[in-house]
Structure 1
Amino acid sequence: MASDGRKQPPWVPPRAQPNAQIPQLKIYNSLTRTKDDFVPVDPTGKVVTWYACGPTVYEDAHLGHAKNYVSTDIIRRIMKDYFGFSVKFVMNTTDIDDKIILKGRQQYLLARFKQQHAAEDNSVSDSVLAETKAAFQHYIGKNLPSLPSDTSPENFSEEADKAYEENVKPRPLADATTAQQGQALTVADLLLRAHIGTAKSAAEALQAPGTLPEFFAKATDVLLPYLDVLHGAEMDSNNYEIYLELTQKFERRFFEDMDALNVLAPDKLTRVTEHLPQIVHFVEKIVTNGFGYATPDGSVYFDIDSFEKAGHSYSRLEPWNKNDRSLQADGEGSLSKGKSMKRSESHFALWKASKPGEPAWPSPWGHGRPGWHIECSAMASEVIGKSIDIHSGGVDLRFPHHDNELAQSEAYWSTPGCQVQWTNYFIHMGQLRIRGLKMSKSLKNYTTIRSVLSQSEWTARSLRICFLLMPRQDGIEVTDELMKAVVGWEGKLNNFFLKSLDIWKHSSHPMTTRQEPSAADQQLLNALEKAKVDVDAALRDSSNTSAVMRILSDLVTESNSAEALSDQTIILLARWVTRITTIFGLDPEGDLNNPDRIGWSGLDIPAPAKPYVYPASHLRDKVRTLACAGSVDHAAIAKLAVEISTAAPTPVIESSKEPYHQVLHRFCSDITALTAQQAPAKDLLALCDQLRDVHLWNLGIYLEDRNSPQPALVRPLDKLLVEARAEQESAGAAKAKAKLEQEAREAEAEKEMCERARVDPLLMFKASAEYSEWDEDGIPTVDAAGNVVSKNRRKKLVKEWEKQKKRHEEWLAMQQAA
């Protein structure tokens, strides 16, 4: 009930002003767990305020972060570039919290330890070994309690295998059956494996120290917590640089990762350490409003009981987790463990009294630091105000973080008889999961964004396609099937854009010239209009990108299967598809202000390759045409090869180190040599295939042959081409293997037949113990039991005898001939 006795509705739909022009769209709202009509607070309906929970910057971002922030970026782009909203996008970086304090302090203490024990020869001293052995014992005592107390580095592996055999053995993937049977891999299993791995690495270092850098590379993870236990409380609470040095480094690297993923930068970035006065003021007002209280130790807690008595609802996003003590404890932070002075276990910290060794800032309650949840409430309220249109973050933030944010902010902004709905729409992004488990730094089951992008398996575009193919609120399990779908979708669009660009470059009818569409054109144009309507409906339906991706794929498929389309139709289609993919952020060079753009970046070969690859492809086209013309005109081919070789530019760098120049020069030389020998057409064509399948392929370039008179399409390799070739080679290898196996079977059968042919038919049945009497030709008449062989049986024996007689006579003839 509200303070005036009225029942408070769980969510109040915003009302549009009469003159506001607002697109009719729905957003899946975590507050209501339904799709709600989207109405901005802005009276004109044009401006959308958006606050996104940013990263805690103490380590490099991983693929789980990519899922969150790329998915957020996609929706932001749709709101901005498709629906035309002016989006005011605010994001924070958490640059002080328990994890940062612990990480920064530990890194500082480790650096000091290394400095104190540095050696000119990089040798590991006895004192370093002694400290590390103590750290090792401390680590296993805390994290591996089932190990015997006398476990040493020397017997660690043996003892760990015995104590944790059941936990570390291979487990199946999590599914309904394995989960019910308790067989699935769990978070506890992963944590245990991580602890065993850390201790094992330290044990190896203690047994074979090597140099100091090698030693610390293996022993650091046991030294960090140990040094913190010994010296953490000694840290100066006013020395903020220890933590800022860490957070500034990883904030910079985070935004480098986001830029690499083509994620738009926030319009406004807020940092906790730059808003301490505002946070203190925010807490003060909550206390003044009667929803917070200070404790004698200098901490301040949110009073959920008073908040609910005043008519407010708590835990609106995940009411089923309201009394989950483990989630509540996790929300309070790792450094908040132990007995507190709060009135109820469910109450959460607004302001924490700093313990010895923790950074502290002044406040009316004494020196301390903000609670985790208060930062977003205070900063979002400071920058945006008391009403926010959209608040977003990962699905794991719903409770307690976002539920606590909601409570704090409503406690701050509401007055008796007037309750404020601080956020109208909550959007949450599903997690990226590995083997059914959330990707987490503590579980060591994550891969950083920069390490993924440095490999060839994933690109920024393919990652974004992966997230576009799945509903943003759903979790993603990266499987072979999903990767195959990503490669297939991207490859299909690559092919479509390449061919559309080629048509556009060589089109004989400019788009300004109107042509009457053919029946095939009209059918595809009708499909395009339907696709536009369907895409619009999908994007209005809570940004249903997975539906849009299917629509685009189906439209391209229909275009590929159509025959005799005009250039204008294909170009029109390609430009619209380009616009949608650009809105989705699939092209870092995309320009929505250029309606004539077709495709996305990466469709062209490298600029240094062009002066050499295009002439090589042109020569190859001519050679193939002339070689297939019946009688080969060797003179014409040789003349063209010389002309192209002579016209090629001289490389800026040494020609022997310029691969594209080498390929062209070699091809021209080989062609010239073959024409001088009056080589047959098949040799010239083999050389053309070698250029395509070996020399240019190895440089990441492919020549896609097309029906004459079209020239080969010069294009960069993509995953679809590489996988198609790999499948072809695999099928070829399997076919060759099957052929060899068949030949071996046939040879064995031939050998067996030859051995059988050696046997004289007079003797063939006498070697068998099945019979006791035979006629003059060696055909059985009586069996071993003394029974006369029946007529039917004798007929079969005679047939076998006649076949053997024929085989044997043929074998004798071959022997005589030999």
Structure 2
Amino acid sequence: MTVIKLTNTKTRKKEVFAPIDADNVRMYVCGPTVYDRAHIGNARPVIVFDVLYRLLRHVYGPDHVTYVRNFTDVDDKINARAEASGRSIREITDETTQWYLDDMRAVGALDPNEMPRATEYIPQMIAMIETLIAKDHAYSDGAGHVLFSVNSYEKYGALSGRSVDDMIAGSRVEVADNKRDPMDFVLWKPSSDDQPGWDSPWGRGRPGWHIECSAMSYELLGENFDIHGGGNDLMFPHHENEIAQSCCAHGHEHDGGGFANYWLHNEMLQVEGKKMSKSLGNFFTVRDLLDGHDGMPGVPGEVIRFVFLSTHYRKPMDWTAEKAEQAKATLTKWKELTALLYDDVARSVSKDEVPEAIVAAVADDLNTSLAISAMHKLAKEAKDDEAARIQLAASMEFLGFDWTQRWTHTFGNSIESILDEHDLSSLEAKLSSLRAIAMETKDFAPVDALKTALLSAGVEVRMSKTGVELEPGPNFDPSKLEGLL
């Protein structure tokens, strides 16, 4: 069986993944607060953990993996949106939940097995809060608030590794006047007549943010499950508070055990080298990219996915128009190649045809960039080899790309016709020869001159220890290749 290794935030080490029960591998990922369209940063954890979901299904079987991703549909932002628009909260959350699902499906994400809405689990949240009070881990202020007592959990801060001062400074929890400690956070808060609320032992109110995921993960995955994921912006306070609540509710306040065994966090996203911000004019929703915005044409969802997967999930990712064009050209070429499969052969493509090198790359802490590099080499072989085309199709499916669907978009000349008319193998041979000579003479000027000319012609040049690879890029201009041989 494939060995999966994951970087566990909990231990700060890359570890071999060993599920609690190989017949029921369980993963929970924090989902959106549904009050508006998802921006492109919201899509990164969805795509990252979709790849992990696909890997787990590949290794353990689709029927042996349970993936839960929640919807927060009770929140002050939702209340404010309802008040400003004059629409009902349910109407807004139903609409925005469907928007989210449509957009995430468009970028190739599979639906999780369970997608609970917070409002469907209020009784379970109340029951967990009652347990925490009974065990002296939480207290009521007598005015409708219930707060978690952070001092009652000695391992608080272990996940994020933050000091108490840092945690207080970065806290996003709602402040109550009568906290016993500045770090205590809200489990339940009172609701006014015009706010959503539920009856509870502490009066009519609604849950705090953090208790939602603790209650829903317990109900759907149990006291102890395998993987919990999300963006690293959730590490504190949300995930830190989830751990404290869950461990204390289920008797692990001293050993820190239970709850999730592996914690994964993806890094954040930038746009054209800058932090995404409305004030900078670089704030885009997923739908903006899909449909087009500010005079820019729409971007296929698979292109968004490809750009995201080209950067390792634990590194900051930069969305650029250039990367989108490069991804578009690569996927167009791959789809042209897999379209050459005969119907009977295409129907037989299965997970068994995914090359071990590509599975191993993804299994090594979701190294999708390495997997894509291997697929570039596979695509080169697939020009003349049907077996390689089958492997390419299976690999695309494994990473969430639809190899069966050729784009109807017009992205310039057909990549296949470009390859037919302008075989780059002779130029590869020339560059390889010049490189070999340069290694002996230490004169790399001829190599640099040819490489510069190729780049000027829109050719992507990849040079490694194993050799030289040339690929037509999105701005490929074959006329500029004349005279290079």
Report the 3-state secondary structure (helix = DSSP H, G, I; strand = E; otherwise coil) of the residue aligned with 1:383: helix
Relative distance call for 1:722 and 1:287 in structure 2 (3 A) is: same
Which secondary structure does the structure 1 equivalent of 2:189 belong to?
Answer: strand
Distance verdict in 2 for CA 1:328–1:699, change over 3 Å: closer
1:704 aligns with 2:417: yes
Question: In the TM superposition, what is the alpha-carbon distance from 1:296 to its structure 2 partner?
Answer: 2.8
1:246 aligns to what?
Answer: 92
Alignment of 1:545 onto 2:371: no
Is the counterpart of residue 315 in structure 1 residue 154 in structure 2? no
Q: Which residue of 1 aligns with 2:386?
A: 571
Tell whether the 8 Å contact from 2:361 to 2:371 is kept in structure 1 after alignment.
yes
**Alignment counterpart, residue 33 of structure 1, candidates 6, 9, 12:** 12
Deviation digits for residues 88-141 of structure 1 (CA, Å, limit 9, x no counterpart):
111210001121122222222xx7xxxxxxxxxxxxxxxxxxxxxxxxxxxxxx
1:498-537 paired onto structure 2 within 5 Å: 498=339, 500-501=340-341, 504=342, 532-537=355-360
1:602 aligns with 2:315: no
Find the counterpart in structure 2 of residue 100 from structure 1.
Answer: 78
Contact 1:294 1:365 in 2 (8 A): yes
Q: Paired residue for 1:54, among 28, 31, 42?
A: 31
C-alpha distance in structure 2 between counterparts of 1:550 and 1:344, whole Å: 51
1:411 to 248, 255, 258: 248
CA, structure 1 residues 35+702, in 2 after alignment: closer, same or farther (shift >3 Å)? closer
Question: What is the distance in 2 between the residues matched to 1:247 and 1:389?
Answer: 29
- Give 1:354 shift: 2.7
Contact map agreement 2:171 2:237 (CA 8 A) in 1:
no
The answer (yes or no) to whether the contact 2:57–2:65 under 8 Å persists in 1 is yes
SS of the counterpart of 2:84?
A: helix
AA aligned to 1:243 is I
**Secondary structure of 2:70 counterpart:** strand
- 1:477–1:699 Cα change, 3 Å: closer
* Cα distance change of structure 1 residues 34 and 419 upon mapping to structure 2, 3 Å threshold: closer
Amino acid at match of 2:210: H
Partners of 1:267 and 1:506 lie apart in 2 by 31
Secondary structure of the 2:355 match is: helix
Q: Could you tell me how far 1:451 is from its partner in structure 2?
A: 2.0
Give the whole-Å Cα distance in 2 for the aligned partners of 1:47 and 1:247.
Answer: 31
Contact 2:329–2:473 (CA under 8 A) maintained in structure 1: no
* Secondary structure of 1:704's aligned partner: helix
Distance in 2 of aligned mates of 1:352 and 1:457: 43
TM-superposed deviation, 1:478: 1.7
Paired residue secondary structure (2:337): helix
Q: 2:212 aligns with which of 363, 371, 375?
A: 375
Task: Look up the match of 2:44.
Answer: 67
Superposed displacement of residue 415, structure 1: 5.8
The whole-number CA distance in structure 2 between the counterparts of 1:50 and 1:540 is 16
Other structure's SS at 1:373 match:
helix
- Cα pair 2:121 2:216 within 8 Å, conserved: yes
In the alignment, structure 2 segments of 5+ residues that lack a partner are 422-470
Q: Classify the secondary structure of the residue corresponding to 1:359.
A: coil
In the alignment, which of 586, 605, 608 is matched to residue 401 of structure 2?
586
CA-CA distance at 1:250 after TM superposition = 0.5
Measure how far apart 1:491 and its partner are.
4.1
Distance 1:602 1:698, change over 3 A: closer
| Distance verdict in 2 for CA 1:451–1:274, change over 3 Å | same
Give the RMSD, CA atoms, in angstroms: 3.5
> Displacement, 1:723?
4.1
Q: CA deviation at 1:480?
A: 5.1
* Distance (whole Å) between structure 2 residues aligned to residue 444 and residue 699 of structure 1: 29
Mapping of 1:452-467 within 5 angstroms?
Answer: 452-455=289-292, 456-467=297-308
Alignment CA distance shift 1:579-1:412 (3 Å): same
**Aligned residue type for 1:538:** A
What does the per-residue CA deviation read over 1:214-243, in whole Å, with 9 as the maximum and x for residues that have no partner? Answer: xxxxxxxxxxxxxxxxxxxxxxxxxxxx32
Distance 1:373 1:102, change over 3 A: same
What does 1:694-773 correspond to in 2, within 5 Å?
704=417, 723-724=474-475, 727=477
SS of match in other structure, 1:349? strand
| Superposed displacement of residue 397, structure 1 | 0.6
Q: Could you tell me how far apart the structure 2 residues matched to 1:416 and 1:723 are?
A: 56
TM-score (norm 1): 0.47
Residues 386 and 420 in structure 1, CA contact (< 8 A), matched pair in contact too = no
Between Structure 1 and Structure 2, which shows a larger proportion of helix residues? 1
Q: Which amino acid aligns with 2:4?
A: L
How far is 1:437 from its partner?
5.0
- 1:185-242 deviation digits (Å, cap 9, x = unpaired): xxxxxxxxxxxxxxxxxxxxxxxxxxxxxxxxxxxxxxxxxxxxxxxxxxxxxxxxx3
Structure showing greater relative contact order (alpha-carbon pairs closer than 8 Å, 6 or more residues apart): 2
Give the structure 1 partner of residue 3 of structure 2.
Answer: 24
1:648-667 superposed matches below 5 A: none
Contact 2:2 2:360 in 1 (8 A): no
- Partners of 2:256 and 2:12 in 1: CA distance: 21
Give the distance between the partners of 1:68 and 1:533, measured in 2 at CA.
Answer: 25
Distance in structure 1 (CA, Å) of the matches to 2:411 and 2:251? 66
Equivalent residues in 2 for 1:254-653, closer than 5 Å: 254-308=100-154, 313-320=155-162, 322-324=164-166, 328-330=170-172, 332=173, 336=174, 340-355=177-192, 357-414=194-251, 420-434=257-271, 438-439=275-276, 445-455=282-292, 456-479=297-320, 482-498=323-339, 500-501=340-341, 504=342, 532-558=355-381, 560=383, 570-587=385-402, 599-602=403-406
**TM-score between both structures, scaled by the size of structure 2:** 0.78
- Which residues of structure 1 form unaligned runs of 5+? 1-21, 112-241, 513-528, 588-598, 607-696, 709-719, 733-818
Conservation of the 8 A alpha-carbon contact between 2:225 and 2:259:
yes
Q: Which residue type is aligned with residue 290 of structure 1?
A: D
Larger Rg: 1
- CA shift at 1:536, angstroms? 3.7
* Deviation (angstroms), 1:465: 0.9
Query: Which secondary structure does the structure 2 equivalent of 1:350 belong to?
Result: strand
Counterpart code for 1:38: F
* Structure 1 counterpart of 2:67: 89
Evaluate the alpha carbon distance shift between residue 571 and residue 702 of structure 1 in structure 2; reply closer, same or farther with a 3 A threshold. closer
Task: Report the alpha carbon displacement of residue 304 of structure 1 after superposing the two structures with TM.
Answer: 1.0
8 Å contact kept, 1:298–1:368: yes
Q: How far apart are 1:544 and its partner, in Å?
A: 1.3
SS at match of 1:344: coil
| The structure with more strand, counted as a fraction of residues | 2
Deviations 1:559-593, CA, capped at 9 Å, x for gaps? 55xxxx6xxxx111111111111011101xxxxxx
Give the SS at the match of 2:215. Answer: helix
Q: Distance in 2 between matches of 1:532 and 1:384?
A: 32
